[in-house]
Amino acid sequence: MRARVLVRPKQGILDPQGQAVQRALPALGFEGVGDVRIGRLIELEVADPAQLPAMCERLLVNPLIEDYEIVEAAGAPASPLNGGAIGG
C-alpha cells in the first residue's frame, strides 16, 4: 500500500519557514495570504500499514513539536484524502 504521512508543526510551535513564506508572498504581489505553516510530506510503500503510527513515533516525526496525519495515497493523486488518523 502506498501511504502518505503529513507532518506539520504543532499549534503554537514557531514555524520560521512558514513566516518567511508569509512575508515573501506579499512582496511578490500576492495579497490575502495568512497562517502559512510548512511541514513535511512523506510518501512510502508499506507492506503493513498498521506499522505506520509506530514508524512515525520512532523515526518520521518529532512528537514534541510536530503532529502527523496518515492518509492512504492509493487514490487519484489530485484528490484530497482526509480520512486519516491524527497523531501527536
User: What residues line the site for a second copy (CB under 8 A)?
Assistant: 2, 4, 6-8, 18, 21-22, 24-26, 28, 30-48, 51, 54-55, 58-60, 67, 69, 71-73, 75-88
In the complex with a second copy, the residue whose CB is nearer, 47 or 64, is: 47
> Under a CB-based contact definition with an 8 Å cutoff, are residues 33 and 26 in contact?
yes
Minimum CB–partner distance for residue 73 and a second copy (Å): 7
* CB atoms inside a 10 Å sphere around CB 76: 6
In the complex with a second copy, the residue whose CB is nearer, 21 or 62, is: 21
Secondary structure class of 32 (helix, strand, coil): coil
Secondary structure class of 59 (helix, strand, coil): helix
